[in-house]
Amino acid sequence: MTVTDDTVSITRPQIGPRQLFIDGQWRESGSGTRTDIVDPSTGQVVTSVAEATEEDLDAAVQAARAAFDDGRWSALSGRERARILNRVAELVRERADEIIAVESVNVGKPVSLCRPVDVLTTAEQYEYCAALAQTAGGSNRETPLNAHAYTRREPLGVVGAITPFNFPLILSSSKIAPALAAGNSVVHKPAEDTPLSALLMAEILTEAGVPAGVVNVVTGKGSTVGEALLQHQGVDKIAFTGSTAIGRHAASVAGQNLKPVTMELGGNAAHIVFADADVEKAIGAIIKGFVFNTGQFCMGGPRLLVERPLYETVLTILGDAVPGVPVGDPFDPSTVVGPMAADKHVRKVEEYVQIAREENARIIAGGERLDLSGGFYYKPTVIADLTNSSRVVQEEIFGPVLTVQPFDTEDEAIALANGTEYGLAAGLQTGNVARAHRVAAKLQAGIVWVNDWAMLDPAVPFGGVKNSGFGREYGPEALESYTKVKSVVISLD
């Protein structure tokens, strides 16, 4: 993990109460109800956000629909849209310190990682999508008809974007940037606990020149405002990132309404270490893979599979190294692992570690909360000797927990890696190029990393297979899922 030292001056921000962003205006919710926003590193309330009603959500969809229909954004040329999206990226870079402070106080992200990860990725997503806006389009089709046939890629209309708590900035951008590049309007429902950066991005999008009504941000509960967005007949596509359980429900509602959906769901990736790996390099990737974002990372690597000759060696190294990973205040520039985003997430980790103890697993490191300033901390934890059928291995813990299992053959490693319901990411460490390609082809995952972890880039598509979902974000593939194809055939008679 690259920790930067240009975050020394970033301090906890003062944030006033935030409102809904509908049709270019900041408004209170119709009910006047508000949700407290808590700093996970202290457990203290830092501000509150408006909790939207179904009527507020309806107003946002109507605004997005009107903006789409009158062409204030959808009818701009790709080049004009690109100019504004590039301006968004510039503003994200210019306002980086402010964004980092907001994201850190809301999610508990270490400020030292927020710049190279969250801020940079967000800026690059807008830049990448700006390039796509100028180059994407239809194509001519050769046909024996006496006709000129071509396709047009047209925007879908109003996109309902629903995002989870763990990477608020990056995941909202991974939907809003391609949706805007393609000419759509958006109604965004961020996670109830971590909506602050989405509201800040609404300011930035407006400052960059995105017209009123084109992007609307409605904050509130998933069961009310999220559900209303899913069910709304004025929405043309649902772009959902979140848990498999809610995704399953969202996909069924979209199916009932015959709306296209992309589903970026849970993960539980296996990280395979073959005996021919560069162990020192592998250890860095292993630790990054499970502590990054305090393990609240859908593409984390919480299931380590180690070829038997290296098994005890790797456990010994992890037992020495993991307690030394700097855990602490996200505003301390030396912190690598911050608190979890909410106390309920720590309690979930505690339940899984308790199950591991009851199954007589070996706790190699961690295994308990870290009592620090009233925050939601859990020590990075390594657990050995569980079987593949354990719930601790099978289920998505979504915390800083690594399970470690031995294997004897390449086929066994692949079977163990593929042996859960999930298929988002996977990875392997090996010095054998042929094995790298062979195993990568057999792993059931949307992305496979070899000899490192979490190498993500707006140009490289990612997404799930199996219960990790369908559809791809990033890359040109992302733009495709925000457009529909129309064929035009002109008679030459």
Instruction: Tell me the catalytic residues.
Output: 264
Task: Tell the smallest beta-carbon distance from residue 478 to ligand NAD (Å).
Answer: 12
For ligand NAD, the closer of residues 73 and 398 by Cβ is: 398
For ligand NAD, the closer of residues 328 and 464 by Cβ is: 464
User: Taking the CA of residue 263 as centre, how many other CA atoms within 13 Å lie in the half-sphere pointing to its CB?
Assistant: 29
CA distance 238 to 226: 11
Query: Please, are residues 198 and 163 in contact by the beta-carbon 8 Å criterion?
Result: yes
One-letter identity of residue 323 = P
CA distance 245 to 252: 11
454: Cβ contacts below 8 Å, ≥ 6 apart: 288, 289, 292, 297, 299, 300
Task: Tell the smallest beta-carbon distance from residue 9 to ligand NAD (Å).
Answer: 30
DSSP letter at 86 equals: H
CA distance 194 to 164: 8
**Among candidates 408, 417, 170, 156, which has minimal Cα distance to 272?**
417
Query: Please, are residues 486 and 152 in contact by the beta-carbon 8 Å criterion?
Result: yes
Task: Tell the smallest beta-carbon distance from residue 276 to ligand NAD (Å).
Answer: 31
For ligand NAD, the closer of residues 112 and 163 by Cβ is: 163
Residue keyed to tokens 């354990």? 390
For ligand NAD, the closer of residues 348 and 435 by Cβ is: 348
Task: Tell the smallest beta-carbon distance from residue 320 to ligand NAD (Å).
Answer: 30
Measured CA distances, 48 to 11, 24, 158 (Å)? 19, 20, 28
239: tokens are: 């772009």
Chain residues in the site for ligand NAD (CB under 6 A): 162-167, 171, 189, 191-192, 222-223, 226-227, 230, 241-243, 246, 249-250, 264-267, 298, 396, 398, 424, 464, 469
For ligand NAD, the closer of residues 89 and 235 by Cβ is: 235
- CB nearest ligand NAD: which residue? 222
